[in-house]
């Protein structure tokens, strides 16, 4: 008869501290590169060089390579054999689709919240998040300046004109 009372450490070996640090470092590098891409530090189509990224971020090329692969699987980067990784250039239709999906998800979330009701703690959390967003918004440039940085093919010029006319 076999013993079926296993402890978790009997089944799954515990990771060593070095392995956890490497995983954390890789996630941190991925987050830093993702933030740089999303904030526009790397223009669409820009090629990302492992060596330069490694030097700029102060890490070896191994976590850089892992981060680039992760970001390519997320769709932020494109990989071309013998050329490496570059920032993906999104088509206008893809950007419009993303905003439409976000709007649908947000309206669905609002509907669920209304149907299910919110606890006082959940309501307080939402109010805190809104207040933080309002506070953060005070540091953002006014709408016309923000709209002016949008690519014209995404409606930036039209949004700028509407905001300026208002």
Residues near 84 by beta carbon (within 8 Å), at least 6 away in sequence: 47, 48, 49, 50
Mean pLDDT on 154-158: 45
User: With 50 as the cut, is the pLDDT of residue 16 above it?
Assistant: yes
pLDDT > 90: what percent of the chain?
31
User: With 50 as the cut, is the pLDDT of residue 9 above it?
Assistant: no
Given strand 77-80, what is the order of strands in its sheet? 47-48, 84-87, 77-80
Q: What is the distance between the alpha carbons of residues 166 and 163, in angstroms, rounded to a whole number?
A: 5
Entry pTM: 0.54
Q: What is the distance between the alpha carbons of residues 104 and 116, in angstroms, rounded to a whole number?
A: 18
Higher pLDDT, 85 or 90: 85
Mean pLDDT on 97-123: 81
User: With 90 as the cut, is the pLDDT of residue 110 above it?
Assistant: no
Mean pLDDT on 32-52: 92
Going from the N-terminus, what domains does the chain have, and what CATH number goes with each?
15-87 (1.10.10.10), 92-165 (no CATH)
User: With 50 as the cut, is the pLDDT of residue 147 above it?
Assistant: no
Q: State the average pLDDT for the chain.
A: 75
Alpha-carbon dihedral sign for residues 83, 86, 90, 95: positive
């Amino acid at each position: 008869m076999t013993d079926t009372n296993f402890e978790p450490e009997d089944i799954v070996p515990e990771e060593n501290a070095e392995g956890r640090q490497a995983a954390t470092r890789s996630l941190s590098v991925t987050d830093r590169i993702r933030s740089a891409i999303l904030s526009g530090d790397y223009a669409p189509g820009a090629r990302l060089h492992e060596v330069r990224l490694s030097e700029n971020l102060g890490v070896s090329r191994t976590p850089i390579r892992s981060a680039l692969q992760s970001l390519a699987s997320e769709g932020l980067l494109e990989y071309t054999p013998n050329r490496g990784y570059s920032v993906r250039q999104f088509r206008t239709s893809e950007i419009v689709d993303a905003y439409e999906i976000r709007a649908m998800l947000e309206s669905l979330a609002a509907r669920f919240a209304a149907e299910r009701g919110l606890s006082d703690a959940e309501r307080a959390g939402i109010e805190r998040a809104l207040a933080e967003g309002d506070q953060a918004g005070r540091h953002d440039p006014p709408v016309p300046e923000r709209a002016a940085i949008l690519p014209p093919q995404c409606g930036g010029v039209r949004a700028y004109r509407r905001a300026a006319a208002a």
